[in-house]
């Protein structure tokens, strides 16, 4: 019997024999073998001691005239640590401690670029409908506590870090992903373009729709972009990052089962195929409980299931639905160009025709 916390990949693996599994993997994941990468003993120890799951897969490209461009990407999903009634600084510091250990482990595996989940240093308090109580979590993109904390780690580990936070810019809030380069310098930011106003996800009353367009950040390791959470439902949002040259697009999210868990494995994967780049889908885990000022209670449970897709459509299995996790993918960036050459989606895109109709 399937237990409701188990993810799809586990259920399939448990129920098929080896031959069936190969067929399933070929059709569903795009390849028979997941191409798992062996992790260090010390990584397994850290994962056990610090209670997070870790797995790694590779996506190779065909041999060609150019040298392989191998990059290791890390995706992190995690729960909050303290209950949401604790002082804000304590809550944030507790998450910092947890994340530091995961980033250290990723660094020991040679991860070059890591991305955290949407508004990673805080509980996703928007479901309370309250704002002032939580203002302490809003911070400056370039020099807030999260950027300072991660800048030190980025420099120490020669790692690019994508840090999705709640940004406070002179009293206006934004849902923002900060990009920190491998020297620990603030490289830039992207503000969430599409804000949900669906059910208990009503973000429009908290912050403004993004005004940063579709930036692609030229890092030492790859050209990266960030499509924040609800932006994954918008095909054109994904497309614009491709037009601006992204090799990898991260999708840091905070989403719950009632809100389209069945879309989760489709949208970012489709974007990777349609746009010939890698996509990295990251979702929070755990249940977050809140007591409002009037004493009423509200809670949200996130389903994790972070995964990655290559430009040829092959994907990794997901991380767990309820545990902290680090997913590492070793990719050859040449695969982006190879997928473009095979499929010609760029060449056949007819953007001029759409531009006329949209006008
Ligand atoms: N954080 C966020 O945009 N959530 C909206 C729900 C969803 O798109 O899954």
- pTM of the full predicted structure? 0.97
Q: CA 122, CA 89: separation in Å to the nearest integer?
A: 10
Length of the chain counted residue by residue = 359
- Atom 6 in ligand 1: residue holding the nearest Cα: 255
Per-residue model confidence (pLDDT) at position 125: 95
SS (H, E, C) 275-317: HCCEEEEEECEEEEEEECCCCCEEEEEEECCCEEECCCCCECC
- Atom 9 in ligand 1: residue holding the nearest Cα: 255
Per-residue model confidence (pLDDT) at position 136: 97
ipTM of model: 0.97
162, 114 in Cβ contact below 8 A? Answer: yes
| Known catalytic residue at 192 | yes
Per-residue model confidence (pLDDT) at position 3: 59
98, 149 in Cβ contact below 8 A? Answer: no
Instruction: Give me ligand 1 centre to Cα 6, in Å.
Output: 22
Using CB distances shorter than 6 Å, the residues near ligand 1 are 118, 196, 201, 229-230, 253-255, 259-260
Ligand 1 atom nearest 194 alpha carbon: 3
Boundaries of every domain in the chain:
9-34, 39-358
List the pLDDT tens digit at each of the 359 positions of the chain.
455 678 888 899 999 999 999 999 999 999 999 999 999 999 999 999 999 999 999 999 999 999 999 999 999 999 999 999 999 999 999 999 999 999 999 999 999 999 999 999 999 999 999 999 999 999 999 999 999 999 999 999 999 999 999 999 999 999 999 999 999 999 999 999 999 988 778 899 899 999 999 999 999 999 999 999 999 999 999 999 999 999 999 999 999 998 889 999 999 999 999 999 999 999 999 999 999 999 999 999 999 999 999 999 999 999 999 999 999 999 999 999 999 999 999 999 999 999 999 98
Q: CA 144, CA 147: separation in Å to the nearest integer?
A: 5
Per-residue model confidence (pLDDT) at position 47: 98
Q: CA 147, CA 244: separation in Å to the nearest integer?
A: 25
Instruction: Give me ligand 1 centre to Cα 269, in Å.
Output: 17
Q: CA 98, CA 58: separation in Å to the nearest integer?
A: 26
Statement: 39-358 belongs to CATH 1.10.606.20: no
What percent of the residues of the chain are helix, what percent strand, and what percent coil, each to the nearest 5?
Answer: 35, 25, 40
Q: CA 165, CA 191: separation in Å to the nearest integer?
A: 10
Instruction: Give me ligand 1 centre to Cα 116, in Å.
Output: 16
Catalytic residue (one of 139, 189, 192, 280)? 192
Instruction: Give me ligand 1 centre to Cα 256, in Å.
Output: 8
Catalytic residue (one of 118, 139, 267, 330)? 118
| Known catalytic residue at 229 | yes
Ligand 1 atom nearest 255 alpha carbon: 9
Q: CA 64, CA 338: separation in Å to the nearest integer?
A: 9
Residue tagged 């499509």 (tokens): 227
């Amino acid at each position: 019997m399937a237990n409701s916390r188990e993810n799809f990949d586990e259920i399939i693996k448990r129920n098929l024999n080896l031959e069936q599994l190969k067929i399933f993997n070929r059709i569903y994941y795009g390849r028979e073998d997941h191409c798992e990468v062996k992790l260090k003993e010390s990584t397994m120890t850290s994962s056990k001691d610090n209670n997070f799951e870790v797995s790694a897969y590779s996506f190779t490209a065909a041999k060609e005239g150019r040298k392989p461009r191998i990059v290791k990407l890390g995706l992190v999903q995690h729960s909050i640590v303290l209950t949401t009634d604790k002082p804000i600084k304590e809550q944030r510091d507790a998450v910092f401690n947890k994340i530091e250990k995961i980033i250290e482990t990723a660094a020991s595996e040679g991860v070059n670029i890591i991305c955290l989940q949407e508004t990673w240093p805080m509980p996703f308090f928007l479901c309370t409908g309250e704002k002032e109580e939580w203002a302490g979590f809003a911070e400056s993109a370039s020099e807030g506590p999260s950027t300072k904390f991660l800048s030190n780690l980025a420099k120490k580990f020669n790692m690019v870090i994508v840090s999705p936070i709640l940004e406070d810019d002179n009293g206006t809030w934004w849902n923002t992903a900060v990009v920190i380069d491998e020297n620990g310098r603030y490289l830039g930011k992207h503000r969430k373009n599409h804000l949900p106003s669906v059910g208990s996800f009503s973000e429009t009353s908290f912050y403004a729709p993004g005004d940063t367009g579709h930036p692609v950040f030229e890092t030492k390791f790859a050209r990266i972009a960030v499509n924040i959470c609800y932006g994954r439902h918008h095909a054109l949002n994904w497309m614009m990052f491709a037009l601006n040259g992204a090799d990898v697009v991260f999708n840091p999210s905070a989403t719950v089962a009632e809100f389209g868990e069945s879309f989760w494995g489709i949208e970012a994967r489709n974007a990777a195929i349609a746009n010939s780049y890698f996509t990295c889908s990251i979702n929070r885990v755990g249940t977050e409980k809140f007591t409002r000022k009037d004493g009423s209670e509200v809670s949200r449970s996130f389903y994790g299931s972070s995964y990655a897709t290559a430009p040829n459509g092959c994907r990794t299995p997901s991380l767990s639905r309820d545990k902290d996790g680090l997913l590492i993918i070793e990719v050859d960036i040449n695969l982006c160009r190879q997928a473009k050459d095979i499929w010609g989606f760029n060449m056949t895109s007819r953007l001029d025709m759409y531009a006329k109709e949209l006008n």
